[in-house]
Amino acid sequence: MRNIKLKIAYDGSRYYGWQRLKDNDQTIQGKLESVISEMVQSHIEIIGSGRTDAGVHATGQITNFHTDSKMTIEEMHHYINRYLPQDIVVKEMVQASERFHSRYHVKSKKYTYYVWNHFTHSPFHRKYSYHLPEELDVPLMKEAAEKFIGTHDFIGFSSLKKTKKSTIRTIDELSISSQDYLMGFSFVGDGFLYNMIRIIMGSLVEIGLHEKELSHIDKVLEKNVRSKAGITMPPQGLFLEEVYY
Amino acid sequence: MRNIKLKIAYDGSRYYGWQRLKDNDQTIQGKLESVISEMVQSHIEIIGSGRTDAGVHATGQITNFHTDSKMTIEEMHHYINRYLPQDIVVKEMVQASERFHSRYHVKSKKYTYYVWNHFTHSPFHRKYSYHLPEELDVPLMKEAAEKFIGTHDFIGFSSLKKTKKSTIRTIDELSISSQDYLMGFSFVGDGFLYNMIRIIMGSLVEIGLHEKELSHIDKVLEKNVRSKAGITMPPQGLFLEEVYY
């Protein structure tokens, strides 16, 4: 069997997230599987590097599937992009080694959360960022961001209830950049719990607005309980940008 | 009467262009006029720096209107952005001198046409660029672009039929930049004839694809006749970026 690896971009606005749902094919995985299954005339299951939630976007989701189709990579690539909806695109496609698995072999991932920080919104970024009209204390947010770097139990910054699985994760990078009014918060880490980035973003924003103290982060990281007042930022600002193997 | 000047951004995708139409309010001017008229409780006419065609976008359209409303600029700005559709935004609003006229006083304008030049399209740029999968000869296009700079009779690069008005215009700048796969063709000039930028773009692309000779431009500029084979590029790549006074 050939093992085909794909790098995918999608505008998540119209979708219920990555993962296929039983009675609803309005998912990224569902759309890909139906086009690819039709192409090779057999039922194909697509493995993704991980799920993305409803409304979250990707510029570098990695997936793979197995097939014994005789089509060339180029023919497949052309076919898939032709029949996918326009808001999902296969950017790259290669034949991977037999053993490559896009979820099990992930070393780390990069996500960026975009905030449009200006009094007026932008018609071009409104679906791809969170609009925050108030002024932010960026130096203080940078200080806060540093507290997340390293290995911590992040259960307090997730939507998980009790779980037997480990909730310890390592964040290697959390950098803040800006271009005009668009701020990007880039997270690189070995894995992220459910809603973890959107909850960390909520805390960073509350600190940037002086609605919470810097010490809030230490408290939640130490006590491992989800802060009652913590906001979960909306999905449309979040992009899965890179998966590293 | 107060004279209010506005800087406006819009995503032109859903609109029939700038200019108000009699039986159709799906225009930028129409939307602005209805919100502003409602706000000041009298019929307001908005003057724009110029029209943009159906599907063309703007990040810096300049407009003005007159009113004797007692509202502050801030109150008006807030009201208008609240009631406009989300794809039209008033970025800036100031009280201008009594004599300021956003069309008559234009010195020059900057437009940029975006081309997404890669085998696969981008889900995030597809509404804001023209997708061209073939490889372009960029150095040759830069040579071609230089031929347009200066003062010429551009009737051959417009959709105008015979006209009594002057079709002589000056292009001060025509620069080509790229970031990843997104190419921007920026035009600065004292005015542009109907479809002029989209037709010039068509010629530049044909030259970049080696479908036309460089000398084609000289011929059209000299003979002042619209080339029979000339393409008009589609509107969604075009942005009105700046108006200079």
Nearest neighbour of B123 by CB, restricted to A11, A120, A122:
A11
Least confident residue range of B69-83, B147-161, B199-213: B147-161
What would the pLDDT profile of A116-143 be if each residue is shown by its tens digit? 999 999 999 999 999 999 999 999 999 9
Q: Which of B87, B92, B120, B128 to probe by mutation at the A interface, max A CB count within 10 Å?
A: B120
Q: What are the C-alpha distances in Å from B147 to residues A20, A150, A172, B143?
A: 54, 56, 51, 7
Low-confidence ranges of chain A (pLDDT < 70): 24, 224-229
Q: Which of A203, A207, A146 is nearest to A171 (CA)?
A: A146
Domain residue ranges of chain A, discontinuous segments joined by +: 2-96, 113-238
Listed in sequence order, the residues at least 6 apart from B223 whose beta carbon sits closer than 8 Å to its beta carbon are: B156
Listed in sequence order, the residues at least 6 apart from A50 whose beta carbon sits closer than 8 Å to its beta carbon are: A18, A103, A106, A109, A240
Q: What pLDDT score was predicted for residue A222? A: 85
Nearest neighbour of B90 by CB, restricted to A57, A87, A120:
A120
Nearest neighbour of B124 by CB, restricted to A11, A120, A123:
A11
Q: Which chain A residue shows the shortest CA-CA distance from B88?
A: A123
Q: What pLDDT score was predicted for residue B204? A: 96
Q: What pLDDT score was predicted for residue A231? A: 86
3-state secondary structure B138-190: HHHHHHHHHHHCEEEECHHHCCCCCCCCCCEEEEEEEEEEEECCEEEEEEEEC
CATH number of A2-96: 3.30.70.580
How far the first Cα of chain A sits from its last, in Å, is 22
Is the domain covering B112-238 a CATH 3.30.70.660 domain?
yes
What would the pLDDT profile of A84-102 be if each residue is shown by its tens digit? 999 999 999 999 999 999 9
A positions 20-79 inside 8 Å of B (CB): 57, 59
Q: Does any CB of chain B come closer than 8 Å to the CB of residue A15?
A: no
Which positions in chain A touch B120 (Cβ < 8 Å)? 81, 89-91
Q: Are A122 and B89 a contacting pair at CB < 8 A? A: yes
DSSP notation for B62-88:
EEEEEE-----HHHHHHHHHHHS-TTE
Nearest neighbour of B123 by CB, restricted to A87, A122, A126:
A87
Distance CA B138, CA B144 (A): 10
Q: Does any CB of chain B come closer than 8 Å to the CB of residue A128?
A: yes
Q: Does any CB of chain A come closer than 8 Å to the CB of residue B91?
A: yes
Distance from CA of B193 to the nearest CA of A (A): 26
Q: What pLDDT score was predicted for residue A187? A: 98
Is the domain covering A113-238 a CATH 3.30.70.660 domain?
yes
**pLDDT reading at B188 higher than 80:** yes
Q: In this predicted complex, what is the ipTM?
A: 0.85
Distance from CA of B112 to the nearest CA of A (A): 15
Give B163's pLDDT tier (boundaries 50, 70, 90).
Answer: confident
Q: Does any CB of chain A come closer than 8 Å to the CB of residue B6?
A: no
Q: To 5 degrees, how large is the angle CA B183–CA B188–CA B190? A: 155
Interval B62-88 mean pLDDT: 97
Q: What pLDDT score was predicted for residue B160? A: 78
Q: Are A124 and B9 a contacting pair at CB < 8 A? A: yes
Query: Do the domains spanning B2-96 and B112-238 agree at the CATH topology level?
Result: yes
Q: What are the C-alpha distances in Å from B30 to residues A120, B1, B47, B91?
A: 21, 22, 11, 18
Least confident residue range of B20-29, B168-177, B206-215: B20-29
Q: Say how far residue A127 (Cα) sits from the centre of its chain.
A: 15
Angle between helices A196-208 and A138-148 (to 10 degrees): 140
Give B228's pLDDT tier (boundaries 50, 70, 90).
Answer: low
